Structure 1
Amino acid sequence: MFCFQCEQTAKGEGCTKIGVCGKKPEVAAMQDLLIHTTKGLSRYAVEARRHGISDDAVNRFTCEAIFSTLTNVDFDPDRFVELVSEGVKYREALKAKIAEAGGTTDFPENAANFTPAETLEGMIAQGEKVGVRSDPDMNPDILSLRELLIYGMKGLAAYADHAAILGQTDETVYAFIHEAMAATLDKTLGADEYVGLAMKCGEVNFRAMELLDAGNTGTYGHPVPTSVPLGAKKGKAILVSGHDLKDLDTLLKQTEGKGINIYTHGEMLPCHGYPELKKYSHFYGHYGTAWQNQAKEFAAFPGAILMTTNCIQKPKASYQDHIFTTGLVGWPGVTHVANSDFTPVIRKALELPGFAEDTEGKSVMVGFARNAVMGVAPQVIEAVRNKAIRHFFLVGGCDGAKPGRDYYTELVEKVPEDCVILTLACGKFRFFDKDLGDIGGIPRLLDVGQCNDAYSAIRIASALADAFECGVNDLPLSMILSWYEQKACVILLTLLSLGIRDIRLGPSLPAFISPNILSVLVEKFNIMPIGTPDEDLKAILG
């Protein structure tokens, strides 16, 4: 195997024996084969659109298949067998429609024509031939750009899938996903073409995040500032991790009146700010921190656990019988819940002891998405003008276990008291429970939401720029981001596509970015690695 799509990849170079995430070589091969399959399917989807054919089932499947290969989503090789087979069936059905419309169905690439082996072992052998380094003659800079595009596409597919679950779709998003995946089969593409596709990926992702925002806020209301307890309440309990609001809403409905309290974990924390979710009296509080701490935290949780999207790690034996997956998440031997029927989760929660007593803990504030922040925009603008607020820091992104992430904690602790910190995604768990006070009633630490709520952060920055009649790059705003997986990759592409410069990125730079491509990004966007908190604060604030 060879995989270097995440920040924690072995030695900062690539995982070759087993993934740092826990991915085994056979799963890596099946993921490579599934990406290969979606490239071939995309080739036909592009041709189909030329003849006025767009298949909703193909669109949805493509996003689900690509999303399944994102880091920490699906580790079950048998499910990849099903996905590869399903992808080929969609491919052949689309070929028939194209032929009927008089289009081209004779594409030479293996991805457009291969027949899956009849066994898992056979498919693994096929997957081993189509991985990242399957073409040893490929120029390393072109390989770097191709993988940057593919990893951006994984993030885009994830957000498009999240949005579609809530009924928000856009044909232009699906059309680009197929265009970009098919383009990676074209060996004549050069650096300029790949850079253009990567920038367009970021642009289209902004639309996908806009759709997801519309789905979340249209269904559950705009988040409002909300205090969330970090303690526990006596009684039966279910812990929900991942990102999916609809799964949480469904579970809340199915557990009403059953004496079970629902807790969030990881990126589900911001859900407490949504009016249509916080209305449930048994939606109690938040338990634990970020995804990489789940082995310790889940082992201590006395109830059932539900994983809704990416973030799962290898479960310990102590809780494997009471952790459940749903949607695209999978782990061999873990019970998978289909069709949003959470009866097995509820049954297990009722069997387990739950919390024996109430425990007091800190509380944290969430719900500072764009509507909440813009609701106090006049106060914010006045505070900037009278110099009560000197600078804004957007400190967010992915958390992870690799050393170096204490930087973000130390940075936030050292940010001067006349500065405001916006944060989002699970990177905030390095400092989410710190009391940083306020500036004239405006909290110094504002939780904008999940990783996909980068859309809200961008809208906030754009509104401030409009108010001060300047560009976003001219605002007293610095972006200091942490990355781990491919959603972070596509958010970075979105920021770059919007022309945002001077982003500090850490804790390490992507292994898939070659030195030459990094030089281009530095020259054009002044992307820079994080330094030390003291050095970076001095450079930013003078």
Structure 2
Amino acid sequence: MFCFQCEQTAKGTGCTISGVCGKQPDVASLQDLLIHQLKGIGYLADSLRKIGIRDSEADIFTIEALFTTVTNVNFDSQAIIAVIKKGDTLKKRLSKLLIDSGADINNFPEAARFTIGSTETEMIAQGAEYGILSEQPNEDIRSLQQLLTYGLKGMAAYADHAYILGKTDDAIFAFFHEALSYLNNKEPAVDALVALVLKCGEINVRTMEILDEANTGRFGHPQPTQVSTAWKKGPAIIVSGHDLLDLEELLKQTEGKGVNVYTHGEMLPAHGYPQLKKYKHLAGHFGTAWQNQQKEFDNVPAVFLFTTNCIQKPRDSYFQNVFTTGLVGWPGVKHVKNHDFSEVINRAKELAGLPEKAGSTLTTGFGHNAVLGVADKVVEAVKSGNVKHFFLVGGCDGAKPGRNYYTEFVEKTPKDTIVLTLACGKFRFNHLDLGTIGQLPRLLDVGQCNDAYSAVKIAQALAGAFGCGINDLPLSLVLSWYEQKAVVILLSLLYLGIKNIRLGPSLPAFITPGILSFLVENFNIKPISTAEEDLDAILNSKVA
């Protein structure tokens, strides 16, 4: 196997024996086979679109299959094989449609013509043949290809969340097929790849926009909300991941049944949505970020429901209490289909339940609607000199050393600055009391990773109020990354022309020195150094 799609990849170069995430070689090969298959499906769907045929099954399969390969989503080889078999049937149908329209199968790329193996062993061997290092000898071109591929994976997650809530945009599906089709090119042009990478960022802005519309349309605009981390005595279900619809369905099914529901990880912002916070048995928030789950869940007499990434190998002490739903999978873990959470609820009632335990308070719910509602106060605070600078400090959390940088950075921000945050990286510092500037909290939790759209809306509104560009604002972005959703958010920021982004805790292994030079030259991306040095550089120079 060879995989280097996440920030924690082995030795900073690539996982070759097994994944640091827990992915085994057979699963890695099957995911590589699935990506190869998607390139073929992309070619067929893109070609059909060019003659006026749009295939909705191809649209949905593409985003679900890509999402399945995102880090910490699905580790179940049998589940992935089922996806590959479904894709093979789809590919054959699309191929026939194209041939019936007059196309010559001999002109199809190999990914659109190959047949999957008849056994699991054969499929695993095929995946190894189509791995990352097998097709493109030029490292810079391969780097751009993987940057595009990982951007597509991240965007697929957001597109799938929006689709589940009834929001789609055909231009998004069309781009998936266009980009996957181009990845079949054996001699790709660098300029064309760069253009597709930036277009991926552009299309992801639209994807996050429709997801924002889907979330706020269904659940209301987030409101600033204090969330308890205390435990209430009684049966408990702890919900991890990002899927708000799964949480809503669970809350409906547990209402009046004496079961408390807690959020975990990136589900914390759910407490800000009016149509979710109205449920009295949404009891609070459990634990911190995803990478601490094995320690935090150990021997806890509660049920754990994973709706999306990030799942880790469950320990024996709670393995039987873990359930997955949606695209998530772990071998041997029970999977919930069609939002029927009856078995989850029954298991929670069978357990002893949580004991009463004191906790602290976290605050969330500062989406773009809430912040822009007090935009006049924000603008006045800047004009009066009470607010000197804004920082967006957010992104993914992880276990790799160096992430304490973000805690130190936020702790050391001056008292006349405001920190916006989002995604699970917030758990490095969202327990801190930074105080207020007037009536404005100094720490504003914008939401989940996809709520980067809210942060962009806020920045654009401030730029409009001051009559300048985003890069001219007293605003600095200090980001942490771990997986592919963070990659596509970065691409969106680059598409928007945002410069001087600090990125850590380490730079992606799939970015070659040549491509890094391009990013530095055009966008002035830079790695984090130390909290003190970076704060000094930001606050005491003209370049943020």
**The TM-score by the shorter chain falls in which range?**
over 0.9
Which residue in 2 is equivalent to 1:20? 20
Which residue in 2 is equivalent to 1:497? 495
| 3-state secondary structure, aligned to 2:233 | coil
TM-score (norm 1): 0.99
Distance 1:395 1:384 in 2: 19
Which residue in 2 is equivalent to 1:247? 246
| 3-state secondary structure, aligned to 1:505 | strand
Distance 2:101 2:251 in 1: 47
Distance 2:283 2:44 in 1: 48
Distance 2:449 2:505 in 1: 17
- 1:51–1:98 Cα contact (<8 Å) kept: no
Distance 1:109 1:103, change over 3 A: closer
- 2:389–2:418 Cα contact (<8 Å) kept: yes
Which residue in 2 is equivalent to 1:303? 302
Deviation of residue 105 (structure 1)? 4.1
Q: Which segments of 5 or more consecutive residues in structure 2 lack a partner in the other structure?
A: none
- 1:47–1:103 Cα contact (<8 Å) kept: no
Counterpart code for 2:391: F
Q: Does 1:483 align with 2:463?
A: no
Which residue in 1 is equivalent to 2:519? 521
Distance 2:299 2:400 in 1: 23
- After superposition, give the CA deviation of every residue in 1:184-242 in whole Å (9 maximum; x if it has no partner): 11012121111100000000000000010010000000000001001111111000000
Out of 375, 394, 418, the position equivalent to 2:373 is: 375
Distance 2:528 2:104 in 1: 49
Counterpart code for 2:369: N
Identity of aligned residues (%): 61
**Deviates most, 299-308 or 72-81:** 299-308
- 1:252–1:280 Cα contact (<8 Å) kept: yes
- 1:265–1:290 Cα contact (<8 Å) kept: yes
Distance 2:180 2:299 in 1: 42
Distance 1:394 1:300, change over 3 A: farther
- After superposition, give the CA deviation of every residue in 1:478-531 in whole Å (9 maximum; x if it has no partner): 000000000000000000000000000000000000001000000000000001
Q: How many residues are aligned here? A: 540
Deviation of residue 108 (structure 1)? 4.0
- 2:158–2:207 Cα contact (<8 Å) kept: yes
How do 1:161-240 residues align onto structure 2 when only pairs under 5 Å count?
A: 161-240=160-239
- After superposition, give the CA deviation of every residue in 1:80-107 in whole Å (9 maximum; x if it has no partner): 1111111111111112222333445443
Which residue in 1 is equivalent to 2:7? 7
How do 1:66-465 residues align onto structure 2 when only pairs under 5 Å count?
A: 66-135=66-135, 138-357=137-356, 359-465=357-463
Counterpart code for 2:532: D
| 3-state secondary structure, aligned to 1:262 | strand
Distance 1:138 1:159 in 2: 32
Counterpart code for 1:394: L
- After superposition, give the CA deviation of every residue in 1:260-284 in whole Å (9 maximum; x if it has no partner): 0000000000000000000001011
Counterpart code for 2:78: D
Which residue in 2 is equivalent to 1:55? 55
Which residue in 1 is equivalent to 2:505? 507
Distance 1:107 1:381 in 2: 59
- After superposition, give the CA deviation of every residue in 1:271-299 in whole Å (9 maximum; x if it has no partner): 00000000001011001000000001111
**Deviates most, 467-476 or 137-146:** 137-146
- 2:43–2:181 Cα contact (<8 Å) kept: yes
- 1:42–1:178 Cα contact (<8 Å) kept: yes
Q: Which segments of 5 or more consecutive residues in structure 1 lack a partner in the other structure?
A: none
Distance 1:91 1:53 in 2: 15
- After superposition, give the CA deviation of every residue in 1:397-444 in whole Å (9 maximum; x if it has no partner): 000000000000000000000000000000000011111110001000
Counterpart code for 1:149: L
Counterpart code for 1:319: Y
TM-score (norm 2): 0.98
Q: Does 1:541 align with 2:539?
A: yes
Distance 2:188 2:267 in 1: 40
Distance 1:105 1:494 in 2: 36
Which residue in 2 is equivalent to 1:41? 41
- After superposition, give the CA deviation of every residue in 1:93-132 in whole Å (9 maximum; x if it has no partner): 1122223334454434221111111111110001000010
